[in-house]
Amino acid sequence: MADAELNAYASLSADVNKQKGAFDNEIKEGIVSEKLSELDLKMSDDDLIKLTNKWEKAWKDSDVKSEWEKKMEENENYWLGKQFDQPKADKSRPLMDNLIFESVETYLPRVTKRNPEPLVSLNSSEIDIEGNSDPRKLKYVDKVKAKLIDLADENKFRLKLKKVARHWAIFLIGIGKVGWDLDTDAPILRIVRPRKIILDPDATIDEDGYTGNRIGEYRKIEASRLIKIIGGDEEEPTGAVKAIKDLVKEDLATDIQFIEWWTSEFMCWKMGKNILLKKKNPHWNYDQEIPQEQVDNYGNTTQISIPKKGINHFVNPQMPYIFLTVFNLGDQPVDKTSLIGQNLSNQDLINKRNKQIDKNADRMNGGMVVSLARSGLTQSQAKGVSESLRKGGVVAIPDGTPREAIDTYSPTALPADVFTQLSDIRSRLRDIFGIKGSSQAGLESEQTVRGKILSTGLDTDRIGGGVSEYLEQYSSDVYNWFLQLLYVYDLGFQFIEGAIPPKVKIAVKEGSLIPKDSFSIANQAMELAGMNRIANIDLYKRLEFPNPEELAANVWLETNAPQLLYKDNPTVMEAMGMMQASAMQQAQQEQSNKQQEFGQEMEKQKMKEEGQTTRSILSAIPMKKEEK
C-alpha cells in the first residue's frame, strides 16, 4: 500500500474535526490540550506513572466530570425517591408519587423486550463477480451465527442490555466491557459502573464510537490472585509483587484496587507509584515470525523466519469498551441531558401539589377554637376538651352556651384546577419518556380500543426512533467483539484447519429491538393462521409461547404420528389400538365388499359375453323362408 493510501486510511480514525473542550477551542488553531506523551511499553515505569497520572488528573479536574457527577447524583436520588421538600408520615418513609421511577422502569422493559437478533453474512470481497460463494464459507457463516446466539444466551444479554440502558438513563452513559472469561473459557460482557471509568475529557462518543486515545478503569482483585497474574519468583519477587505484599502483609485475601489503563495498542495496571503489569493489547492476534530450519542441497541448515499473519475480525486493535449515549452533542464523552433530567421540574411540581393536597386533607378533620372566658376553662382544660371531642366524648362547661364557648372550623376544598394541573403534569412527564400509551394510568383517558392502540403506537415510534436504534448498534458492537475474542482465544473455533477464515459482516436485524404491541402481533398471527399463510412454529413464536418448537412438533406428531406422541399413555395407546383394530376390520370388510362387487361384476360380464356369443351363433344359422 502506498504512503498516500496509508495516510488517507489513517485519517479516517484520526481525531480530526471533533469538537474538543470548551467552545473557544473549537475554532482555535494550534495546541488545544495539555502536552502529553504517547504510551509505549518501552517507557520506564516512572515515565509511565507520570503519564497515567496526567491522564487521571485531566479527567478529575475537568468541568465535564464535575458537571456530570452532579447530574448523576441528582438523577439517582430522584430515581430512588430521595426527593426534597416531601411530606413525611414518619422520619424514614416520605409520602411521594415517584413518577420518575415508574417512567424509567416502564420505559426499559419496552426497549429491551426482545433479543437483538444477529445477522451474519459474507463480506462482498468473499463473493465472486457472478454472485457465487464457496459453500464452505456459507456453512461457516451459519456456524458463526449459531455461536453468537449461544453466547448471547450464556451472557444473559437481554438483562445486561437492560442494565446498560438503566445506567444510561440515570448516569447519562452506559458502559460495557468485553473480555475472555477464564472460568467458562468463553467471551463475556460485563457492565461497568460509570463512576469507575476515567475518560478523556476532550473526547466524544458518536455513531463511530469513542474518539479518545485512552480509557482507565478502577478495578479490584484479591491480592493472592493479583500476585499469580503478575507472576515472579517467590524467592526474588518483582517490585510489583513486593509492593502488594508490603501493602497487605500476610492478609493475601485482601482486595487490592488499581487502575487499568487501555490504549488501542497497549494496556497497563497502575497502583500508586507502582506499575503492576504492562503488555500489548491482549485481544489482538499480532503478526508473528515463526523460526524454522532450512536445509540446502548440501545438507547445511539455516535458521529462517516465516511470517505468520494474525487472524482478526477487526481491522485494527481496539479498546475493549462499548459505550451507549443518545443525547450527545459531540463535545464531551457523556450525554448533555437525560430523560430524568428533563423531568426533574415536573416531579418537583407533582411533589408540591401532593403536599398541598395532603395538608388540606389533614385540615379537613377540622380545627377547634375554645373561648376560655365563655367556657370557664383553663388552657390545659381546653386541650383536654378538644381531645375528648375528637374521640366522641362528652364535655361539660361551667358557664356559657356551647356554641359560644367552643367552635370548630373546616377549610374550604381545594379548587379543581389543582387536581387538573396535577393530572396534566403526570401526563406531561409520561409523554417526555414516551410511555403514556404503555402504562395503565396513561391510557385511562382513552375510551376506545382504537385510541389506546394509536396511543401505544405513537410511544413505539418515539422509543423506536430514540434509544432502540442505539441499543441495536450497541448489540452489534458486542457481537463483533465476541467474534474477535473467539479468533484470539478459541483455537478450536476455526474455518478450516490451517486456513484463514472468510471475512464476515455482523449486524443486528434492523427493528429487532423496537417495541412491538403483543396484542396486535398476536391478532396478525391469528389472521395469517386462518389463511394458512404462516407455519405453526412461527405462529407460536409470535404468540410468545415459552416452547414454540416443541409445541409445533407436537401438533405435527398428533396429525401424522400420534402413536409417537402418546406412547407413554397406556389408556390412549389402548384406545388407539382399538381404533386401529376397528379401522382394520372396516378395511377388511370394505375389501371383502369390493371383492364381492368385483365377482358380481365379472359374473355379469361373463353372462353378457356368453349371451353375445349365443346371439352370434344363432345369427349365423340359415333360416327357412317361413321362419323369416
| 599 domain-assigned | no
Do 524 and 379 lie in one domain? The reply is no
Residue type, 572: V
Give the CA angle between residues 467, 470, 472 to the nearest 5°.
110
Give the position of cell 370388510.
589
The dihedrals phi and psi of 408, each to the nearest 5 degrees, come to -110, 155
Q: Provide the sign of the torsion angle of the four alpha carbons 42, 45, 47, 52, taken in this order.
A: positive
| 469 domain-assigned | yes
Q: What pTM was computed for the model? A: 0.71
Q: Single out the residue in 381, 410, 439 at which a domain terminates.
A: 410
Do 116 and 191 lie in one domain? The reply is yes
Q: What's the rounded Cα separation, in Å, for the pair 157 and 199?
A: 25
Q: What's the rounded Cα separation, in Å, for the pair 536 and 559?
A: 13
| 164 domain-assigned | yes
Q: Coil, strand or helix: which one is 291?
A: strand
C-alpha cell at 496: 478450516
Q: What's the rounded Cα separation, in Å, for the pair 472 and 455?
A: 24
How does DSSP classify residue 38? P
| 329 domain-assigned | yes
| 190 domain-assigned | yes
Do 374 and 468 lie in one domain? The reply is no
Do 333 and 382 lie in one domain? The reply is no
Do 498 and 528 lie in one domain? The reply is no
The tally of domains found in the chain comes to 3
| 136 domain-assigned | yes
Q: Which residues contact 273 (CB under 8 A, 6 or more apart)?
A: 49
Yes or no: say if 261 and 55 are a contact pair by the CB < 8 Å rule: yes
**Which pLDDT score is estimated for 410?**
67
Do 405 and 536 lie in one domain? The reply is no
Do 528 and 395 lie in one domain? The reply is no
Do 102 and 152 lie in one domain? The reply is yes
Q: What's the rounded Cα separation, in Å, for the pair 103 and 525?
A: 30
Q: What's the rounded Cα separation, in Å, for the pair 565 and 558?
A: 6
SS3 string of 179-191?
EEECCCCEEEEEE
Structural domain boundaries enclosing 555 = 518-565
DSSP letters for 113-132: SSPPPEEEEE-GGGS-TTS-
Q: What is the mean pLDDT of each run of 10 residues along the chain (628 residues)?
A: 45 46 56 56 84 93 93 91 62 71 82 82 81 82 92 92 92 95 92 95 89 94 88 64 86 91 93 90 89 76 81 93 91 90 89 84 66 67 68 67 67 81 86 65 49 47 61 92 93 74 88 59 73 81 78 84 81 82 85 82 78 65 55
Give the CA angle between residues 495, 497, 499 to the nearest 5°.
65
